[in-house]
Amino acid sequence: MVNYKQVITFLDNSNSDCEWINRFKQSYQNFIRTGSWDIDYKVYTSGWKEIEGVMILLPEQEDDTDYNVILCANTERSLRELLLKFPRSCKGNFSSTKPWMIDRSKDILIYNKIKSKNGQIIQGIKQGSQGTAENRVVEKKKDTIIADIRRLSKEKERIELNQFLVEGELLVTRAFKDGLPIESIIYTSKYITSQDGITFLNKASSDNISIYNVNDGVMGSITTTRPVPTILASIHYNYAPFLLDTKQLNLQYSPNCSLLIAENIENPDNLGMTIRTADAAGVSAVLISGDGCSPFHKNCIRASRGAIGRLPLFHSSSTISAVEELIRSGWKVCGATSNTDNVYYETELSFPYAVIVGNEYTGILPETLEKCSDIIRIPMAPGQSSLNVGVAAGILLFEISRQK
């Protein structure tokens, strides 16, 4: 249920001067007086404890376009959440209230920049639902689509293609429900032995997603998972560097943002659980630094329970460089370790705030700790000196959320 009063307040606080936004505000005043809207708006919001972004869809009947779209977002996460809600296979003319949103939209949309009476806008459609979708049986492992999907088993290829795989009914259906930009779906005949499977594939096809029926042998050539999954999907994702070539932050944030930095986490299950926890705690983004495992490892994706794809992820080979630039940009950066007297719940936080969790065995690197603004610990009863990295991240991140 949209709270239109909060939406108007957010737009006013964003200092957004846009013809369509002003028209929406007028329509809202008319709604207050009459109880009905003069235009069939669709309004979406993002944010957890407060609104961090607004997307307004206005039906458009011209230029082979479905909607005129107003985007107003404060952070990477709020923009991503909004764009994921945009309907698949629909074309929109997107007007952004801040310039950075245009380039960031390519993570979700395929678009062209065009000029209109409202200034520069982008005309786009969600990745994976453009063009003509295929729906066919694939019997050979050398088929082009199978060869393309098989490439995603390698980390280098995933980065180059900006795609990753999700496996199994739970994660594929969740990716579809969450609006992730699905490029293609591969399934075996076992998947359509239930009505739920048939219904899902019909929905995917109606959203202009390509779907392919394969046998177990072909599916087994794509993934090493055993038993062979009955369905998997390839999803677009731009795994961006945290620092630009200029060494500046490649991160859009607001003054009350929080960030998780995962340094040198080696176990993909641990990393997945940590990312899932960060998602639940409402962080603005996750930075994966150092020489740990890939967030697109199938075990990490499974353990994240849908967080990968929804949550902005960044990478950096050096935690130190990232921390230095965060501090220069006004962030407080906290390192979690057992070698300090400072207890986490006795530390008063200031925002924007980042917390670092380290390797499962060695913790945060000493040289990284030296760069931190704060060093804190989680007190424990005698007998244990450490926690699982995902558990530790959860304790710290929810304390950050509480103080925020």
Alpha-carbon gap, residue 313 to 310, rounded angstroms: 9
What is the pLDDT, as a whole number, of residue 99?
Answer: 86
Token pair 């629909």: residue? 90
Cβ(169)–Cβ(188) under 8 Å?
no
In degrees and rounded to multiples of 5, residue 33 shows phi and psi of -75, -40
State the DSSP code for 32. Answer: H
Cα maximum dimension of the chain: 69
Give the predicted TM-score (pTM) of the model: 0.93
In this prediction, residue 287 carries a pLDDT of 98
Structure-derived torsion over alpha carbons of residues 339, 345, 351, 353, reported in degrees to the nearest 10: 40
pLDDT value of position 19: 79
Contact 345, 305 (CB under 8 A): no
The type of residue at 262 is: A
How far is the C-alpha of 397 from the C-alpha of 278, rounded, in Å?
A: 7
Between strands 258-263 and 353-357, the pairing is parallel
Q: In order of start, what are the domains of the chain with their CATH numbers?
A: 4-126 (3.40.630), 135-236 (3.30.1330.30), 240-403 (3.40.1280.10)
CA–CA dist 327, 349 (Å, integer): 14
DSSP H or E segment with residue 287:
strand 285-289
Q: What is the DSSP string of 118-162?
A: TEEEEEEEETTSSSPPPEEEE--TTSHHHHHHHHTTSHHHHHHHT
Q: Which sign does the torsion angle of CA 166, 172, 178, 182 carry?
A: positive
Q: Of 352, 346, 349, whose CA–CA distance to 328 is shortest? A: 352
pLDDT of residue 116: 63
Strand partners, 379: none
**Residue 294 tokens, joined:** 């890939």
pLDDT of residue 119: 60
pLDDT string in tens for the chain (404-residue length): 889 999 999 998 887 667 788 889 999 999 999 989 998 999 999 999 899 999 999 988 777 899 999 999 999 999 999 999 999 999 999 988 888 998 899 999 999 987 665 566 899 999 999 889 999 999 999 999 999 999 998 888 998 899 999 999 999 999 999 999 999 999 999 999 999 999 999 999 999 999 999 999 999 999 999 999 999 999 999 999 999 999 999 999 999 999 999 999 999 999 999 999 999 999 999 999 999 999 999 999 999 999 999 999 999 999 999 999 999 999 999 998 888 888 888 888 889 999 999 998 889 999 999 999 999 989 888 888 788 999 999 999 999 998 88
Q: Of 231, 124, 234, which Cα lies nearest the Cα of 182?
A: 234
Determine the 3-state secondary structure of 101 from DSSP. helix
Nearest CA among 171, 309, 183 for reference residue 230: 171
